[in-house]
Amino acid sequence: MVLVTCYVKDVIKIDENFRKLHSIPLDASMLYVEKTIKFDDQSREDESALTTIRRTLHNHMDDRYNLFNMHITSPEDVPRIDDIEYNYNGKAIHFPTIVKEPKYSESINQDGQIISKKKEFKIPLHVEPDQICDFAVSYRTKAYISAINGETDFFSFSVNRYTERLVIRVLLEGKMKEKYTISFPYETEADGKPLIFQIYDAAEERMKTSEKSLEKIKEHPKINTFKNKITWKISNPKTGYEYRLFFILKERKHN
């Protein structure tokens, strides 16, 4: 009787997992997404950082996948269309000549202050049925001035479709690597845990169960002090969630 009960429970669990899997849109999925924030020589001059977002998309449909909708959101700074560099399947393409329906919007609080800026646009991909394409955008932004000024900062990535692998990375190069080291913040959360990463849903609610799940399988941000970078690799990140990585730049002490 116990064995039968366990078997029924297992079948119910499998059925639940099956239904959950098939409720996820899989017409087009991301095999790989990587977001990198790089502080380099130019960062010393104008307090900007280079942001690069690379994606590998698989079109599972019988029809061509034509347009990919992208948005860049920041409380501080979003790039002009003319300042975005675009690469499609390894080939650099002049971005302003291909971008579709660019839009800019701002979110304003009750005091009339801008709390968020958003640049939205569509990129033509024209991916044939059951084919894969790689595309990337790069742009400079002053959204991370707090980090350059020695304060705790963070950057994030919001997952809006099924993704097999997400990599979030922040690193130092050139003169910035000579002047600073990269580290996790000094601050701790209310429960005393180090402030390293957080996960939120669309309503800005902390998804602490998901955070614990990543910690359990050791998919948390890892720091490489020799290469001066922090890397966070996540398998099958959850659609609809925002993954935030916190960091700080510390000035090197030279004798």
Whether residue 39 is contained in a domain is answered as yes
- CA–CA gap between residue 255 and residue 252 (Å, rounded): 10
Give Cα separations from 216 to 122, 156, 191, 209, 213 (angstroms).
37, 21, 18, 10, 5
CATH label of the domain that carries residue 112: 2.60.40
Q: What is the pLDDT of residues 16-72, one digit of tens each?
A: 554 445 567 789 999 999 999 999 999 999 999 999 999 999 999 999 999 999 988
Global pTM value: 0.86
pLDDT of residue 199: 97
Residue 21: inside a domain, yes or no?
Answer: no
The pLDDT value given to residue 125: 93
Domain count, the chain: 1
Nearest to 38 by CA among 147, 159, 192, 165: 147
Residue 45 to residue 218: CA distance in whole angstroms:
37
Biggest CA-to-CA distance, the chain = 74
Q: Is residue 3 part of a domain?
A: no
Among residues of the chain, what percentage have pLDDT more than 70? 90
Q: What average pLDDT does the chain have?
A: 88
Does residue 60 sit within a domain? yes
213 assigned to some structural domain: yes
Reported as a single tens digit per residue, the pLDDT across 212-243 is 999 999 999 999 988 899 999 999 999 999 99
Q: Does the residue 138 lie in any domain?
A: yes
How would residue 129 be classed by pLDDT, with cut points 50, 70 and 90?
very high
Domain range for 42: 26-251
State the CB neighbour count (10 A cutoff) for residue 20. Answer: 9
Nearest one of 45, 50, 204, 26 to 140, comparing CA atoms: 50
Mean of pLDDT values over 167-179: 94
- Whether 40 is covered by a domain: the verdict is yes
Give domain status of residue 64, yes or no: yes
Q: Taking residues 167-177, what's their average pLDDT?
A: 95
How many degrees, rounded to 5, is the angle at CA 152 between CA 149 and CA 158? 120
* Structure tokens that stand for 227 in this block: 């290469």
Read off the tokens for 92: 């650099």
State how far the Cα of 247 lies from the Cα of 151, in Å rounded to an integer: 9
pLDDT (tens digit per residue) in 186-214: 899 888 889 999 999 999 999 999 999 99
**Cα-to-chain-centroid distance, residue 20:** 24
* C-alpha–C-alpha distance, residues 179 and 147, integer Å: 13
